[in-house]
Structure 1
């Protein structure tokens, strides 16, 4: 009998943010995101210059946990999730730890999207979801081998998840997704009339 195994697994972590750290009210977190977006003129200018639809604090603010205590609570929860994911990945961290590198708000209105990208120089990246209205886009994850498949035929419709070229993960409000930072991902166009709100982050090995 032939032996067929799956090698080089790509892990995706999904859990309720509240499983680690204090409980966080999504409505309060959403209000904080909007308040920061309204006051962040530098971020607004960056989004306009770069053609970013909606708002992101990625290029303007580095102190969200200091500005609003609710973001400090988010970080406490994320630290627990990242530690659990690192254990699952069987990382040998030595005498170093995984620490938060940056944390930013994303507000995508109707028609907004964020193209395929990775998070260089980080180890674990992820997003926690604040508002996911009906009809909004899932997170699209790309098979990291895709660029090496050359003349391979397309997969059959309904192929097993581990064999698909793309996986669409639709998180719920209050959940967190984690992945290794080299994994390419995107947010397809938001087809909802309401804003899609999330908080993304990177952890580095230091």
Structure 2
């Protein structure tokens, strides 16, 4: 009897951040993001020089959990989510652990986008969502096999999710998404008149 199986799964973790304590106050997190963005002159300069729409602390700040207690609480929660994802992935970490490598703020205005990229040198990457107004862009995830498909025809409209070349994951405020850092992803143009706020992060094998 013939068999068809799905091989080489790409896992995506999605959960409410509140599933693991401490509970993060969304309004406090949003206010902290705006306060940091306003004071971070180096980050503002970097965004302007590199054509980054809106604001990111990616290239300027490395101590968010120290600056604001709400970010310290966030990392405590994220550590637990990442541990749950690692269990699902069945990683053999030996006597080492995955630890937070960096964490940064993203404030994306109307018309802003973040082009396709990966996160080298990390194991797990992810984002938690602070503000997602109506019309804010979903996270676009790319099938890692796409560059090798060469002459393959396109898939039928409405094909099974596991066969699609791109997945658009539309998170809610308070959600956390985790994926393996080699998975290419992007943030399409924000079509909302309001700002899309998220906090992204990487975990490395320490």
TM-score by length of 1: 0.99
Mapping of 1:36-185 within 5 angstroms?
36-185=36-185
Q: CA deviation at 1:20?
A: 1.1
- Structure 2 alignment gaps of length 5 or more: none
C-alpha distance in structure 2 between counterparts of 1:194 and 1:127, whole Å: 19
In structure 1, the residue matched to 2:200 is 200
Describe the SS at the equivalent of 2:179: strand
Q: Structure 1 residue runs of 4+, over 6 Å off?
A: none
Q: CA deviation at 1:42?
A: 0.1
C-alpha distance in structure 2 between counterparts of 1:158 and 1:87, whole Å: 31
Q: CA deviation at 1:11?
A: 0.1
C-alpha distance in structure 1 between counterparts of 2:2 and 2:146, whole Å: 26
C-alpha distance in structure 2 between counterparts of 1:80 and 1:71, whole Å: 14
Per-residue CA deviation, residues 1-28 of structure 1 (Å, 9 max, x unaligned), is 3100000000000001111121111111
In structure 2, the residue matched to 1:11 is 11
Per-residue CA deviation, residues 133-168 of structure 1 (Å, 9 max, x unaligned), is 001100000000000000000011101000000000
C-alpha distance in structure 2 between counterparts of 1:61 and 1:48, whole Å: 16
- Structure 1 alignment gaps of length 5 or more: none
Is residue 191 of structure 2 the alignment partner of residue 186 of structure 1?
no
Q: How many residues align?
A: 206
Q: CA deviation at 1:189?
A: 0.1
Structural RMSD (CA): 0.4
Q: CA deviation at 1:61?
A: 0.1
C-alpha distance in structure 2 between counterparts of 1:129 and 1:121, whole Å: 23
